[in-house]
A and B are shown apart, each in its own frame.
Chain A
Amino acid sequence: MASCGMIPFVSTFAVFAAGRAYDQIRNSICYPKLNVKICATHAGVSVGEDGATHQMLEDLNLMRGLPNMTVLSVSDDIQTKWAIEEILKLQGPVYVRLGRLKSPVIYETNQKFEIGKGVQIGEGTDATVFATGLMVSEAILAKEELKKEGINIRVVDIHTIKPIDKELIIKCAKETGKLITIEDHSVIGGLGSAVCEVLCEEYPKKVTRIGMKDEFGKSGKAEKLLEYFGLTKETIIKEIKEG
């Protein structure tokens, strides 16, 4: 349909969208640079009870590696609405990663976003937490708690995994102490890897990656699972204070 000038929006669970259809996305969408928008839902361990078979933890890795593909991973309702409207204007394949959980609203309705530009939240210089998707609100909670103890950090919402905001990542690495990444995704190949790729070439510095540690998820309530796998504000706080 895209080859006939239409803009197909396709949506299914991320595990099927990026996993099962990888070859089709690679050869029939990205290679011919067709204008197809893949809106993948139910990403991450936060899918909950369905368990490992349905919890996609490698999609950013798979989609990021594809030439011509733009990869978004949005953090709240406002950003999702922006993203869906914005990708309509973009010519070429796009993958949008969406979660299943109800997520707190972070932004005001008039917040401006730009594809490829991260959103810096706060000016703290003790640490930067680069977060994406559901983990942005968790990082903001960590930031607020640390503030009470006199530790000032900033959160960077990386809603565009590719092309990634190199400039902002380098700027934060120069301006702040510790660097942390957090994602409801494997630490292999996702946000953490993307940030490390930028820094090791441009401004080498230690980065701590929080995410799924090369393992599958399991069944359980989403909140319990996030806790079980350490995808929480507590882990961020611990890493900043002790790491």
Chain B
Amino acid sequence: MKITEVKELEQIAKEIRIGIIKEVYSGKSGHPGGSLSCTDILTVLYFNQMNIDSAKPDSNARDRFVLSKGHASPALYSTLARRGYFEQEHLTTFRGIDSILQGHPDMKHIPGVDMSTGSLGQGLSCANGMAIASKLNKDGNRIYCLVGDGEIEEGQIWEAAMSASHYKLDNLCVIVDNNNLQIDGSIEEVMSSYPINLKFESFGFHVINVDGHNILELIQAFDKAKTIKGRPTAIIAKTVKGKGVSFMENQVGWHGKAPNEEQYHIAIKDLEQEK
């Protein structure tokens, strides 16, 4: 399944966002802000770019995705459900005691989750391992890893960046969800990771800057990344935290909080009306 129509992808992204709000509202807990900011990236990956088959979630040569910013699990789960890995009904069980949908991604119990994540800073190292394995096995698949702009303040990210470049992992593509906010405030206030593009460049990455909500730009960036040989690619995606929900956009308070009933209805309305 490869969807190339931008309009169609935008529609899917909208549905995924509604799923995110349903998850966080039902679970009365979770991280809506950073889930809404990376939704368009996930949409393009799962519906346009990645070579995957939801009927064979464990096939060896599949492309893989590591959600290093594991707290954006609502976005990943909503995407996987929309892509057919499991029933949509699971979304409203998010974070519940009987749910498969753990607070943070759990590869043992959730079909389609390629790596368990949640302790920030580790996902890129795992993605490196997958990219090395892919080269050793000559699988020819690609590995994608989404990191947060706050997450990359973690030292392990840069050890992994150094290593990705050292091993010339051109089958690896890192995407930075640059929504400019982290749990305690703006990136500049807390611990600036800027300039992100220059950092990745100096670590040996091919860097592409994009508007992380522009489907076409994202497709072009991922297509371009596939042509880069001898080094990994980093796509720096400028995004808006809480994208699509009026009262959540660019509000640090919506990093890890669930909407109440009134807010839930406003959020759904906002998303349904979004063009």
Chain A residues within 8 Å of B, Cβ to Cβ: 1-6, 8, 23-24, 26-28, 31-33
Contact = CB atoms under 8 A, between A and B. Distances in A.
Given A4-B137, A24-B156, 15 more contacts: A1-B132, A3-B114, A3-B115, A3-B126, A3-B129, A3-B130, A3-B133, A4-B60, A4-B133, A5-B60, A8-B129, A23-B122, A27-B116, A31-B108, A31-B116
Interface residues of B, number: 23
Contacts of A4: 60, 64, 129-130, 133-134, 137, 139
B108 A1 contact: no
Contacts of B125: 24, 28
A23 B108 CA distance: 18
A140 B133 CA distance: 45
Nearest to A36: B129
Nearest to B136: A6
A32 B106 contact: yes
Interface in B119-141: 119, 122, 125-126, 129-130, 132-134, 136-137, 139
Contacts of A2: 129
Interface in B136-171: 136-137, 139, 156
Contact of B129 (A1, A23, A32, A33): A1
A32 B116 CA distance: 6
Contacts of B137: 4-6
A31 B107 CA distance: 9
Contact of B115 (A6, A24, A32, A33): A32
Interface in B195-233: none
A8 B116 CA distance: 17
Contacts of B185: none
Contact of A28 (B108, B126, B132, B134): B126
15 contacts: A1-B133, A3-B115, A3-B130, A3-B133, A4-B130, A4-B139, A6-B136, A8-B129, A24-B119, A24-B125, A27-B117, A27-B118, A28-B126, A32-B107, A33-B108
